[in-house]
Amino acid sequence: MKKRPPATPTEAILESISDGVFTVDENWRVTSFNRAAEEITGIPRKEAIGQLCSEVFKSSMCGIACALRETLADGKPVIGRSGYIINGDGRRIPISVSTAVLKESSGQVVGGAETFRDMSEIDALRQELAGRHRVGELTSNSASMQRVFEILPAIASSPSTVLVRGETGTGKELISRTIHDLSPRRNGPFVAINCGALPDSLLESELFGYKAGAFTGAAKDKPGRFALAKGGTLLLDEIGDISPALQVRLLRVLQEKIYEPLGSTKPEAADARVIAATNKDLLQLVKEGTFREDLYYRVNVVQVELPPLRARKADIPLLVQQIVERFNRLHAKNLPGLTPEALSLLMAHDWPGNVRELENTVERAFVLCPQGSIDISHLPAEITSRQSEQSFGTTIQHAHNLTDSQTIMAALKRNNFNRLAAAKELGIHKTTLFRKIKKLGIELPEKDGRTR
């Protein structure tokens, strides 16, 4: 076998750096692909060389937004352009690219070079700091959330006030941010205020702001949340907790679109799209007389109902996976996830605190688990104590059944309800599949996907 010639200094450098580098010829075929490029994309050099760069790289910029195409056209290098690539698992990996033109000694352009950096860590930390979640990551397997997703674009594009209803920890703020990001106001500010956390007097000054000298301690003008949200979206969380006096003021702002900061008689224009959120039954509060009926109808123009986690248990495995990945980044660990037994217990729990409780539970387990998979021993008592209420066996069995039927249903859907294909995909014999379908009581539609 022919011995490989020793690496040139350039090759050695390219192999040692952590940024991916690849070069292409005039036909956009990959001519070189360094080690970091292999690692970030997950594609071995052998499979990349000679292929169209866009098919290897799979980036959000491939096509009209291609940085290299731009550079080859105008000769100007692109530095640090952001985008993402999609890896073989369908995960978006945020990257930053830079380009250069490749010329031979005569000055003739022979191709291009592109360098890219994996921005996952930085991106994740930045988002954690900002308290945001990527819009593209909002996903669910359950029908109840699909219904919410269906109406989001329409809600976002209209300027109407939205009321988001859901138990604590169901993601009311996340959905509100998503509505903002989908709306024409997406480039404007997103401002949130928790109306339940502040006493009335403070809430008033927070919402409307104040002028210098409005009260003792008001040294200078302070803009209220309405002002800060100008051109953007304002989330009024726990709106059911506002006092009747403040309800009147809020009603006026929503109707007239003007308000006065404390200590000022000059009205300011309110230019914020309002989203109200609550975990209470506002209509009930209206009946009890603690919430104004006219404010209720002003706020409840469009309603979004977020289902509790126990109504969308199919999403628990997916959510857990996302949470584990996030904590892996933050705690610089590399835990693969949960054992099937631990996951089954999570599936069996009712989650009164919904997604937030799930996040807390997984985070606590994370701290307790030094390495390897998170197991039952790492889960808190509230989850594991179900064992003492019912016999351990039936809880686990029930949870197993739930996960099984969801896995089977998903496989059937993917194969157009063709049982044979689904069984093949799941790696079980078709009679086993038929038996499981019968035992778990899975309902199948009329069509059976058999090829004619």
Partner 1 sequence: MRIALAVLNNRIAPVFDTARNLVVVEDEDGKASQEISLAEETPVQRALYLAEIGVNVLICGAVSRSLYAMIQARGIAIHSFVSGDLADVLQAYRDGRLDTPDFAMPGCRGMRHRQTGGRPGGMPHACRKRRGWE
Interacting residues toward partner 1 by CB under 8 A: 38-44, 46-48, 51-52, 54-65, 86-92, 118, 120, 135-141, 146, 149-150, 152-153, 182, 317, 324-325, 328, 334-337, 407, 410-411, 413-414, 416, 425
The nearer residue to partner 1, 161 or 407, going by C-beta atoms, is: 407
Task: Give the nearer residue to partner 1 in terms of CB position, either 94 or 224.
Answer: 94
The alpha carbon of residue 181 and the mean position of all alpha carbons in its chain are separated, in whole angstroms, by: 12
3-state DSSP call for residue 235?
strand
Using the minimum distance from each CB to partner 1, give the nearer residue, 35 or 230: 35
As measured in angstroms, the least distance from the Cβ of 84 to partner 1 is 8
Distances in Å between the alpha carbon of 106 and those of 102, 103, 133, 175, 338? Answer: 11, 8, 50, 57, 59
Q: How far is CA 225 from CA 1, 338, 434, 444, in A?
A: 72, 42, 58, 51
Tokens 């199948």 map to which residue? 444
CB closer to partner 1, 120 vs 360 = 120
Minimum CB distance to partner 1, residue 31 (Å): 14
Q: 43: closest CA among 22, 64, 70?
A: 22
Q: How far is the CB of 127 from partner 1 (least distance, A)?
A: 16
Closest distance of CB 182 from partner 1, Å: 6
Q: Using CA atoms, how far apart are residues 339 and 403, in angstroms rounded to an integer? A: 13
Q: Is 386 helix (H, G, I), strand (E, B) or coil?
A: helix
Partner residues linked to 165 by β-bridges: 278, 305
Q: Residue 181 or 241: which CB sits closer to partner 1?
A: 181
Question: Measured from the CB atom, is 66 or 396 closer to partner 1?
Answer: 66
- CA 17/CA 36 separation, integer angstroms: 7
Task: Name the amino acid, one letter, at 253.
Answer: V
Residue 160 makes CB contacts below 8 A (sequence gap 6+) with 301, 302
User: 239 φ, ψ to 5°?
Assistant: -70, -20
Q: Which is nearer to partner 1, 139 or 284 (CB)?
A: 139
Nearer to partner 1, 224 or 337 (CB): 337
The amino acid sitting at 152 is: L
Rounded to 5°, angle at Cα 259 from 256 and 262: 160
Provide the minimum distance between the beta carbon of 291 and partner 1 in the complex, in angstroms, as a whole number: 32
CB 223 within 8 A of CB 209: yes
DSSP category for residue 76: P
Containing H/E element for 184?
none
Least distance from C-beta 218 to partner 1, angstroms? 42
In the complex, what is the shortest distance from the CB of residue 58 to partner 1, in angstroms, rounded to a whole number? 4
At its nearest, how many Å lie between partner 1 and the CB of residue 266?
Answer: 40
Minimum gap (Å) between residue 271 Cβ and partner 1 = 24
Q: Of the two residues 221 and 425, which places its CB atom closer to partner 1 in the complex? A: 425
Distance in angstroms (rounded) separating the CA atoms of residues 449 and 231 = 51
